[in-house]
């Protein structure tokens, strides 16, 4: 059954708090939440259960935008209590996060599955005791040889600024599509940008 309804939805962008991590690939989830907040005049300034949150509407859907402040690997410590307090379930959750296995500019929507090594997603799965929640994976790999640990926590190179801005906007469009039409239709529209994918399980 598709998840289009009048229920509220929590959109959580993953990242690390603090100026040190601003503008890094690992914080692309924060950037997408910021873009949605800007588009829909939602102030993400309230502190709730180790997250910065803001409430508003995107189209006809009431939404809670959230940016966990627990650091990436403990994202579930913020998301689990927030959903419970807001009377929301895993089916009302959209998580937006960076994916080093996808090329920069790719977006991949999934409704369940493994964490694929992403510690933030693994933490959320542990807190919710399920792998069933919508994920929007944002490709950040620059298609050249990199030191992964160093790359994800260093600021984006100036040469990628325009591409990153376009990627954040495109991902925000994908989230809006999920809210308006459901994940299945959004997948058909937006997963086609995910270049290099060989099958549904990647």
Hey, which residues are catalytic here?
A: 26
The Cα 194–Cα 137 span in angstroms is 10
The Cα 183–Cα 110 span in angstroms is 8
For residue 97, list its beta bridge partners: 137
The Cα 169–Cα 100 span in angstroms is 19
> Can you say how many angstroms the Cα of residue 126 is from the centroid of all Cα atoms in its chain?
17
* Strand order from edge to edge, sheet including 93-103: 46-48, 51-58, 61-68, 9-13, 93-103, 134-141, 107-110
């Amino acid at each position: 059954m598709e998840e289009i309804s009048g229920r509220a939805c929590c959109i959580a962008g993953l990242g690390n708090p603090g100026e040190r991590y601003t503008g890094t690939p690992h914080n692309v989830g924060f950037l997408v939440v910021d873009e949605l907040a800007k588009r829909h005049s939602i102030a993400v300034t309230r502190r709730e259960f180790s997250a910065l949150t803001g409430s508003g509407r995107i189209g006809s859907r009431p939404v809670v935008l959230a940016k966990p402040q627990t650091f990436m690997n403990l994202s579930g410590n913020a998301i689990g209590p927030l959903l419970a307090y807001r009377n929301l379930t895993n089916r009302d959750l959209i998580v937006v996060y960076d994916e080093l296995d996808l090329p920069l500019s790719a977006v991949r929507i999934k409704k369940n599955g493994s964490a694929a090594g992403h510690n933030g997603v693994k933490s959320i799965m542990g807190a919710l005791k399920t792998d069933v929640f919508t994920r929007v994976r944002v490709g950040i790999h620059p298609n050249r040889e990199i030191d992964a640990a160093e790359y994800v926590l260093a600021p984006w190179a100036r040469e990628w600024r325009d591409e990153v801005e376009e990627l954040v906007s495109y991902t925000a469009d994908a989230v809006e599509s999920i809210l308006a039409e459901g994940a299945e239709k959004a997948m058909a529209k937006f997963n086609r940008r995910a270049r290099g994918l060989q099958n549904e399980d990647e």
